[in-house]
A and B are shown apart, each in its own frame.
Chain A
Amino acid sequence: MSYISLSHEDKKKMLAVIGISSLDELFCCIPEEIRLKRDLNLPSPLVEPELIHHFEEIGKRNSDSSYLSFLGAGAYRHFIPYVVDYLSSRGEFISPYTPYQPEVSQGTLQVIFEYQTLICQLTEMEIANASLYEGASAAAEAVLMAHRLRGNPKILVANTLHPQYKSVIQTYVKNLPIEIKEVNYNERGELDLDDFARKIDAETSAVVCQSPNFMGIVENLDRIAELARKHQALFIVVVAEAASLGILKAPGACGADIVAGEGQSFGLPLSFGGPYLGFMACKKDFIRQFPGRIAGETKDAEGRKGFVLTLSTREQHIRREKATSNICSNQAWCGLRATIFLETLGRKGMRELAYQNIQKANYALEKLSEINGVKRRFSGPVFNEFVLEFAGGWPKVEGFLRQNGVLGGLSLEPFFPELKNCALFCVTEMHKKDNIDRLVRLVGEVLR
Chain B
Amino acid sequence: MIREPLIFEISAEGKRAFDLPKLDVLEKKEFLNNLPLREDIKGFPQVSEIEVVRHLTRLSQTNFCIDTTFYPLGSCTMKYNPKVNEKVAQLGNFLHSHPHAPQDLVQGNLEVLKSIEDFLCEITGMEAFTLQPSAGAQGELVGMMLIHAYLADRGSPRKVVLVPDSAHGTNPSSAHICGYLAQEIKSNERGTIDLAGLIQQMTEDVAALMITNPNTLGVFESDILKIAEIVHAKGGLVYMDGANMNALVGKFRPGDMGVDVIHLNLHKTFSTPHGGGGPGAGPVGVKKHLIPYLPFPVVEKGPAGYVFNHNRPKSIGRVGSFYGNFLVIIKALAYILSLGAEGLRETAEIAVLNSNYLRKSLEGVYHLKYSTPTLHECVFSDKLQKEHGVKNIDIAKRLIDYGHHPPTMSFPLIVPGALMVEPTETESKKDLDLFIEAMKKIATEARETPEVVKSAPHTSYVRRLDETSAARNPVLRWEGDEEK
Give the CA-CA distance A44 to B356 in the complex, in Å: 29
Q: List the one stretch of B40-48, B195-203, B284-292, B444-452 in contact with chain A.
A: B40-48
Interface string of B461-484 (1 = CB under 8 A from A): 111111101110011111001000
Question: Would you mind naming 21 contact pairs between A and B with Cβ atoms under 8 Å apart?
Answer: A4-B346, A14-B429, A40-B122, A40-B123, A65-B98, A75-B98, A93-B63, A95-B275, A104-B400, A104-B405, A116-B476, A273-B326, A330-B278, A343-B17, A343-B45, A351-B40, A358-B31, A362-B31, A363-B25, A363-B28, A429-B20
**Bound-complex Cα distance A31 to B350 (A):** 19
- Which chain A residues border B434 with CB–CB below 8 Å? none
Is A336 at the interface (CB under 8 A from chain B)? yes
Q: What separation, in Å, do the CA atoms of A306 and B475 have in the docked complex?
A: 11
* Chain B 377-423 residues near chain A, CB threshold 8 A: 396-397, 400, 405-406, 409, 411
* Docked complex Cα distance between A19 and B463 (Å): 40
- Contact A329 to B25, CB < 8 A, known contacts A46-B337, A168-B321: no
Binds B, one of A196-204, A226-234, A290-298, A369-377: A290-298
Interface residues of A in 186-226 (CB under 8 A from B): 218, 220-222
Cβ contact within 8 Å between B470 and A308? yes
B96 and A269 form a contact (CB under 8 A): yes
A255-301 contacts to B (CB < 8 Å)? 262, 269-276, 287, 293-301
- Of the residues A23, A275, A311, contact of B328 by C-beta under 8 Å: A275
B427 within 8 A of A: yes
Interface 1/0 per residue, B39-70 and A, CB below 8 Å: 01111111101001101110111111111110
A418: CB under 8 A from chain B? no
By CB atoms of chain A within 10 A, which of B137, B277, B336 has the most? Answer: B277
Q: How far is the CA of A345 from the CA of B135 in the complex (A)?
A: 30
B276 within 8 A of A: yes
B261 CB-CB contact with A under 8 Å: no
Q: Which residue of B lies closest to A424 (CB)?
A: B100
Partner of B47, one of A86, A118, A306, A343: A343
Chain A residues, CB < 8 A from B252: 30, 34-36
Q: A20 to chain B: closest CB distance in Å?
A: 8
A347 to B94, CA, bound (A): 31
User: Does A436 make an interface contact (CB < 8 A)?
Assistant: yes
In the complex, which residues of chain B have a beta carbon less than 8 angstroms from the beta carbon of A441?
A: none
Q: How far is the CB of A267 from chain B (nearest CB, A)?
A: 11
A55 to B90, CA, bound (A): 10
A347 touching B40, Cβ below 8 Å: yes
Q: Are B251 and A45 within 8 A (Cβ)? A: no
- Give the residues from 335 to 376 in chain B that come closer than 8 angstroms, CB to CB, to chain A: 336-346, 349-350, 352-354, 356-357, 360-361, 372-373, 375
A305 CA to B427 CA, complexed, in Å:
34
Interface residue? A327 (CB, 8 A): yes
Alpha-carbon gap, A218 to B344, bound state (A): 51
How many residues of B sit at the interface, in one of the four size bands? 35 or more
* Interface status of B426 (Cβ within 8 A of chain A): yes
Q: Given A71-B101, A83-B52, A248-B37 in contact, is the A116-B18 Cβ separation under 8 Å?
A: no
Q: Are A104 and B63 in contact (CB under 8 A)?
A: yes
Report the contact-size class of chain A (Cβ under 8 Å from the partner): 35 or more
Q: A62 contacts B106, CB within 8 Å?
A: yes
Which of B32, B73, B87, B100 counts the most chain A CB atoms within 10 A? Answer: B100
- Could you tell me the distance between the alpha carbons of A307 and B59 in the complex, rounded to whole angstroms? 12
- Is B239 an interface residue, CB under 8 A from the partner? no
CB distance from A306 to the nearest CB of B (A): 4
Q: Mark A47-75, 1 if CB is under 8 A from B, else 0.
A: 11001101110111111110101010111
In the assembled complex, the Cα of A360 lies from the Cα of B96 at a distance in Å of 21
Report which of A59, A122, A310, A336 forms a contact with B108, defined as CB distance below 8 A: A59
Q: Is the CB of B61 within 8 A of A107?
A: yes
Which residues of A, 21-44, contact B by the 8 Å Cβ criterion?
A: 23, 26-31, 34-36, 39-44
From the candidates B15, B334, B428, name the one contacting A6 in the complex (CB within 8 A).
B428
Q: Complex: how many Å from CA A417 to CA B405?
A: 56
**In the complex where A71-B101, A347-B45 touch, is A359 in contact with B17 (Cβ < 8 A)?**
no
Checking A42, A95, A128, A275 against B477 with a beta-carbon cut-off of 8 angstroms, the contacting residue is A128
Determine if A41 and B20 form an interchain contact, defined as CB atoms under 8 angstroms apart: no
Q: With A1-B339, A36-B250 as given contacts, are A58 and B3 in contact (CB-CB < 8 Å)?
A: no
With a cutoff of 8 Å between Cβ atoms, the chain A residues found around residue B25 in the complex are 359-360, 363, 433, 436
Q: A328 touching B136 by the CB < 8 A rule?
A: yes
In the complex, A163 Cα to B341 Cα: how many Å? 41
Q: Are A103 and B397 also in contact (CB < 8 A) when A97-B274, A110-B6 are?
A: yes
Report the nearest B residue to A402, measured CB to CB: B102
Chain B residue nearest to A119 (CB atoms) is B477
Q: B residues 87-116 with Cβ under 8 Å of A?
A: 87-88, 91-102, 105-109, 111-112
Q: Are A29 and B373 in contact (CB under 8 A)?
A: yes
Q: Does B323 contact A (CB under 8 A)?
A: yes
Chain B proximity of A313: nearest CB distance (Å): 8
Chain A, range 167-201, C-beta contacts under 8 Å to B: 167-168, 170-172, 174-176
- Residue A239 interfacial (CB < 8 Å): no
Q: Which residue of A lies closest to B25 (CB)?
A: A363
Report whether A164 and B321 are in contact in the complex, using a CB–CB cutoff of 8 Å.
yes
Given A5-B428, A333-B278, residue A326 in contact with residue B45 (CB < 8 A): no
Shortest Cβ distance from A4 into chain B, in angstroms? 5
Q: Which residues of A contact B31 (CB under 8 A)?
A: 358-359, 362-363
CA distance A262 to B322 in the complex (A): 13
Instruction: Find chain B residues with CB under 8 A from A47 CB.
Output: 338
**Chain A residues with CB below 8 A from B24, complex form:** 432-433
Nearest CB to that of A97 among chain B residues?
Answer: B274
Which one of B11, B23, B68 lies within 8 Å of A92 (CB-CB)?
B68
Instruction: Bits for A95-133, please: 1 = Cβ < 8 Å to B, else 0.
Output: 111111111111110110110111011100001101101
Given contacts A95-B66, A351-B41, contact A270 B343 (CB under 8 A): no
Query: How far is the CB of B89 from the nearest CB of chain A, in Å?
Result: 8
Chain A residues in 8 Å Cβ range of B353: 6, 11, 14-15, 18, 23, 26
Q: Quick check: A274 and B322 within 8 Å, CB to CB?
A: yes
CB neighbours of B37 from chain A (8 A): 247-249
6 A-B pairs with the lowest CB-CB distances in the bound complex, closest first: A273-B322, A333-B275, A45-B340, A91-B67, A332-B277, A273-B99
Q: Which of B131-170 contact A (CB under 8 A)?
A: 134-138, 140-141, 145, 148, 168-170
Contact of A62 (CB < 8 Å), options: B93, B222, B471: B93
What's the Cα separation between A281 and B140 when bound, in Å? 25
Cβ-closest chain A residue relative to B87: A52
Q: A52-B87, A75-B99 are in contact. Are A43 and B340 (CB under 8 A)?
A: yes
Q: Is the CB of A344 within 8 A of B49?
A: yes
A39 with B250: CB separation less than 8 A: yes
Quick check: A329 and B280 within 8 Å, CB to CB? yes
Between B19, B23, B33, B35, the greatest number of chain A beta carbons within 10 A of the residue's beta carbon is seen for B35
Chain B residue with minimal CB distance to A281? Answer: B477
The residues of B that contact A144 with a CB separation of less than 8 Å are 177
Determine the chain A residues whose CB is within 8 A of the CB of B49 once the complex forms: 83, 344
Q: Are A61 and B107 in contact (CB under 8 A)?
A: yes
Q: Complex formed: what's the CA distance from A344 to B94 in Å?
A: 25
How long is the Cα–Cα vector from A321 to B253 in the complex, in angstroms?
29
- Check A331 for interface membership: any CB of B closer than 8 A: yes
B281-315, CB < 8 A from A: 295
Q: Tell me, yes or no, whether A393 is within 8 Å of chain B by CB.
A: no
- Beta-carbon contact of B41 and A304 below 8 Å: no
Expressed in whole angstroms, the minimum distance between the Cβ of B142 and any Cβ of chain A is 9
Set of chain B residues within 8 Å of A73, measured between Cβ atoms: 100
